[in-house]
Amino acid sequence: MKKITLNDGNQMPVISFGTFQITDFKECERAVLDALAVGFRAIDTAQSYMNEQAVGNALAKTEVKREEIFLTTKIWLSNYGYEQTIASFKRSLERLQTPYVDLVLLHQPFGEYRESFKALVSLKEQGLIKSIGVSNFYDDKLVDLCLFNDYGVVPAVNQIEVNPFFQRINSIEVNKKYNVTPQAWAPFGEGKNNIFENEILNTIAKAHNKSVAQVILRWLYQREVPFITKSVNKNRMEENFNIFDFELTSQEMNEILSLDQKESLFFDHTSAKGVEWIHSLIAQRG
């Protein structure tokens, strides 16, 4: 599996298998085992996904060595604060059935995220975490955290929404300027805007005898943006994994560029409504 080197020297696979919305215990366990069998070597979960235990069970059952798997989890908002973050992370370790986690992110850029980031720095120094980062940090919050801290550490990764309709060109440049690796979530936009029926993407896919999904993932790969992809169907997992045997032309990359609508397909983290919605999730997810 192709890897990218993070700012702390650790290496992360370009492709990660995501477990968001796979809430059924047995289905999640099976999906992770199938993903590992297909060849995925990076697994992404989170406290708020409610499936860390299922992921941990899969890791305990697989024949793939733990050191060959890049495991990511995320600290949820209700666990922000220095002591709360440390305590919740140790509970995650128990659920994941592992002595360490490769990458731990702060899930959202709200609340006491500075204290939580300081806690992640401490956990990294203890060897319980290899790399630390953030998720959904827009440019201002990311640069603020990078410049105004006394830890001497900047995030290794920033997981952000990136898809053909929300390409984040400027944000990706900002992340890379501060030596933070942007990682794309929802590369297919969860099917919004009829992405799989899009004429431009379908024309490109037919030219390469590939699927639209493979074209989107290859587009991200050629932009040097690692990504998370999710499916509970093993055939789809194999399809999403096999993107290294073709290359998009400069013209095709420019055609995809024309699809950019420059706004989220989900919600705006910088708007009052966006923050209010995230806050409402605390009650839902605990």
- From the annotation, which residues make up the binding site for substrate? 107
Query: Which entry of 49, 80, 113, 221 is annotated as an active-site residue?
Result: 49
Residue ranges at the known binding site:
107
Contact 72, 47 (CB under 8 A): no
Which has the closest alpha carbon to 132: 16, 47, 40, 7?
Answer: 7
Assigned token pair, 227: 């990504």
Contact 195, 163 (CB under 8 A): yes
275 half-sphere exposure, CB direction, 13 A CA radius: 8
Cα–Cα distance for residue pair 148/146, rounded to 1 Å: 6
49 given a catalytic annotation: yes
Neighbours of 183 (CB within 10 A): 28
20 half-sphere exposure, CB direction, 13 A CA radius: 11
Concatenated DSSP letters for 70-135? EEEEEE-GGG-SHHHHHHHHHHHHHHHT-S-EEEEEESSS-SSHHHHHHHHHHHHHTTSEEEEEEE
Give catalytic residue positions: 49
